[in-house]
Chain A
């Protein structure tokens, strides 16, 4: 049976929610083999968090040099696992780090690379949404072992009761992959809100907020949404750059997207138009965002949002 390797994403102590998703994609084409790259002594605790997923086997690589030397060291370790396992394909979750690892690994093992897939099939072909969701592309790697990054939340992770077998694998990182030294690492500053790219609901503010995100945030907290912002809002310094949704920011595809005071220029639409349901609030009845909206309110967000919040609270009580 074909082996599909995938990289288990984690922050050193906690695994992300993507490994279960990647395992479910991997199962379509063969055995799901997860690779954990961890510091010495940290592998078992990470592996333990993956029970209940569809992972068949876990390969645990413990080596402190990986977290100390960054992407090149991780690529070196993965290439050694690939050389041993000879998988049919390698999957990585799409993130800044995931895509960089995939790109470098593809060159190192001489295989083609595809990024930001939203689907992966048993014939190793993929689906991506390109140009801000205006086109859907099916693609396939035709040379070497495919290296594919998959967007988080592209699939509901399957559940399995059998535990994965765990094996340790030793790697040695060559000097050429240790040219970068990481001297300090700070985890992201997390508010209480969900992560933008993983959230089921995203509410974003734009020029129409005039720099006041209080109403957008209050609604976000009521409905458990992540907060996004248009480029106009982040360029003005009203909201952190990391929250920008659009062509030059994050691409989101939540169940519900609420655009507040955002006109909906192509720059913004490119980052959100594949959302399942789109709601727009804007004073300008001609705003292009209304062409996308399943439900649009022509009005002032500072009147509409508080009223909607009160109504939601009243119905829930």
Chain B
């Protein structure tokens, strides 16, 4: 079984973000592996590890796939230190400004060429937060879509997957035969911290960096020129007016109630 995991390098979700010319300024903030991708890596590891136990060369592998500037290798390295086997990074100046459509196109090309059985993803990236890539990958690959999984059961022998999809609409039990695109939600597991041994091992694991030409996608299909939507204008949110701050000296609750009533908020 070959599992691909789509990962993204994003600005640290604890950092303030800025926009320049209608785009996120990625240079000014620390870049990290998208938090939500760690759950996908952890889940795939939990599926693969018991199957590989006691085997000389692992027959079940995990490959991290990403698209982004060259420094994205740092985010991939983090995933490798958790235990994934290798990485593929598509990096090309022409990719800057790509929209979800182009991203899905590039990632699915790499997945198609890699002969994978399953793709795992987080539910969204913490920067763009569109939450559409896993579904769009299923669409462009023509694979079964098993997304927003709160639990995943992979039947490696029967080549099928069953998940519990957990969203605001409730819980659905759904299943499909390989190949499938699976996205997992945050509550599915507790991602491990990379061990020292894992960090050392990751330094020797392969990351295959490819340009657009290597995967057979033309530069006109991606980036700002290939985008199917465009930002017309981006404005920082005006700062909020300074509010009232008072020390509770025994009547803080009463004053809060007065404020809510006076402003007709409750």
Q: Are the CB atoms of B168 and A195 closer together than 8 Å?
A: yes
Closest to B139 in A: A104
Q: What is the CB-to-nearest-CB distance from A93 to chain B, in angstroms, rounded to a whole number?
A: 11
Query: Does B15 sit at the interface, judged by CB under 8 A?
Result: yes
Q: Could you tell me if A248 and B145 are in contact, using CB atoms closer than 8 angstroms?
A: no
Determine if A266 is an interface residue (Cβ-Cβ < 8 Å): yes
Known: A142-B229, A183-B173. A267 touches B13 (CB 8 A): yes
Residues of B within 8 A of A270 (CB): 13
- A279 lies within 8 A of chain B by Cβ: yes
B239 to A, closest residue via Cβ? A291
- List the B side residues contacting A290 at CB < 8 Å: 243, 245
B101 contacts A106, CB within 8 Å?
Answer: yes
State how many angstroms separate the Cβ of B260 from the closest Cβ of chain A.
7
The 8 A CB mask of A12-54 against B (1 = contact, 0 = none) is 0000000000000000000000000000000000000000000
Chain A contact-residue range equals: 35 or more
Chain B residues lying within 8 Å of A291, measured Cβ to Cβ, are: 240
Contact segment of B54-62, B82-90, B110-118, B130-138 = B130-138
Q: Please judge, given known A-B contacts A95-B168, A285-B247, A292-B240, whether A125 and B232 are in contact too, CB under 8 Å.
A: yes
Q: Mark A248-290, 1 if CB is under 8 A from B, else 0.
A: 1001000110000000011100100110011101000100001
Q: Kindly report which residue of chain B lies nearest to residue A305, judged by CB atoms.
A: B253
CB-CB < 8 A to A106: which residues of B?
Answer: 100-101, 136, 228
Bound complex: CA A279 to CA B228 (Å): 40
B266 to A279, Cβ gap below 8 A?
Answer: no
Interface membership of A87, Cβ < 8 A: no
A299 touching B248, Cβ below 8 Å: yes
Question: In the complex, are the beta carbons of B247 and A298 less than 8 A apart?
Answer: yes
A181-B176, A183-B173 known; A248-B232 Cβ under 8 A: no
Give the residues in chain A near B123, CB-CB below 8 Å. 96
Contact of B236 among A95, A134, A297 (CB under 8 A): A134
How close is A287's CB to chain B, nearest CB, in angstroms? 10
- B170: A residues at CB distance < 8 A: 185-188
Contact A176-B16, Cβ < 8 Å, known A256-B265, A281-B256: no
Say if the beta carbon of B73 comes within 8 Å of chain A.
no
Complex alpha-carbon distance, A266 and B13, angstroms: 8
State in angstroms the CA–CA spacing of A164 and B232 once bound together: 35
Partner-binding segment picked from A58-66, A109-117, A155-163, A205-213: A109-117
A277 x B263 contact (CB < 8 A): yes
Asked if B168 and A188 make an inter-chain contact with CB atoms under 8 angstroms apart, the answer reads: yes
Q: Provide the main secondary structure of the chain A interface.
A: mixed
Which residue on A lies nearest to B161, using beta carbons? A180
Q: Do residues A135 and B236 form an inter-chain contact, with CB atoms below 8 A? A: yes
Residues of the B chain whose Cβ atoms lie less than 8 Å from the Cβ of A101: 135
Please name the residue on chain A nearest to B134 by beta carbon: A100
Q: Does B126 contact A (CB under 8 A)?
A: yes
Asked whether A248 lies within 8 Å of B186 as measured between CB atoms, the reply is: yes
B33 within 8 A of A: no
A265 and B186 contact, CB distance less than 8 A: no
Contact residues, A172-228 vs B (CB, 8 A): 176, 179-188, 195, 197, 201, 223
Closest to A108 in B: B139
Check A144/B19 contact, CB under 8 A, given A72-B138, A180-B176.
no
Residue B142 interfacial (CB < 8 Å): yes
The reply to whether B132 and A99 form a contact with Cβ atoms under 8 Å apart is yes
CB of A107 within 8 A of chain B?
Answer: yes
- Complex Cα spacing A273 to B237, Å: 10
Within 8 Å by CB of B255, from A95, A142, A188, A297, lies A297
Residues 13-41 of B contacting A (Cβ, < 8 Å): 13-17, 19, 22, 24, 35-36
Give me 7 other A-B pairs in contact (C-beta within 8 A), A11-B169, A143-B229, A179-B176 excluded. Answer: A99-B132, A113-B100, A130-B19, A140-B232, A241-B187, A266-B15, A308-B257
**7 closest A-B pairs by CB:** A307-B253, A299-B248, A103-B132, A112-B228, A311-B257, A100-B135, A112-B229
A-B contact list, 21 entries, CB within 8 Å: A100-B134, A103-B104, A104-B138, A107-B136, A108-B139, A115-B130, A134-B236, A140-B230, A141-B228, A142-B230, A182-B172, A184-B173, A187-B170, A248-B13, A248-B35, A267-B14, A294-B244, A297-B245, A297-B246, A297-B256, A312-B261
